[in-house]
């Protein structure tokens, strides 16, 4: 029973970690923020445009990208998984 409790606490922590670190209201907004930061580090113009788009979309852009990548998961879990598995080498400019 103790191990089940520890596993649940770890899973909840892993779900809310991106939101807390990125200071955003949801997992898709946190994924958008990380994506914007990664792209902004590679190309300033693309980062600026993505930053403006993510400011307007309020997590919708991150949700669409994550659900396209991980079709079998609900949107929130897809965004969390995309946040943890984002590889900046896969981002194409």
Query: How far apart are alpha carbons 36 and 10 in whole angstroms?
Result: 27
Collapsed DSSP state (helix, strand, coil) of residue 59 = coil
Question: Helices (H), strands (E): how many in the chain?
Answer: 5, 0
Name which of 1-5, 47-51, 68-72 the model is least confident about: 47-51
How much is the average pLDDT of 17-25? Answer: 88
User: Is residue 4 predicted with pLDDT exceeding 90?
Assistant: yes
For 23-39, write each residue's pLDDT tens digit.
888 898 888 888 877 77
Q: What is the mean pLDDT of the chain?
A: 82
Residues 93/43, Cβ–Cβ less than 8 Å: yes
User: Is residue 92 predicted with pLDDT exceeding 60?
Assistant: no
């Amino acid at each position: 029973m103790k191990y089940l409790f520890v596993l649940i606490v770890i899973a909840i922590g892993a779900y809310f970690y991106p939101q807390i670190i990125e200071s955003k209201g949801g997992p898709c907004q946190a994924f958008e923020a990380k994506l914007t930061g990664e792209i902004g580090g590679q190309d300033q113009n693309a980062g600026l445009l993505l930053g403006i788009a993510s400011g307007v979309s309020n997590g919708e852009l991150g949700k669409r990208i994550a659900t396209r990548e991980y079709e079998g998961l609900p949107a929130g879990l897809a965004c969390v998984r995309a946040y943890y598995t984002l590889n900046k080498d896969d981002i194409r400019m």
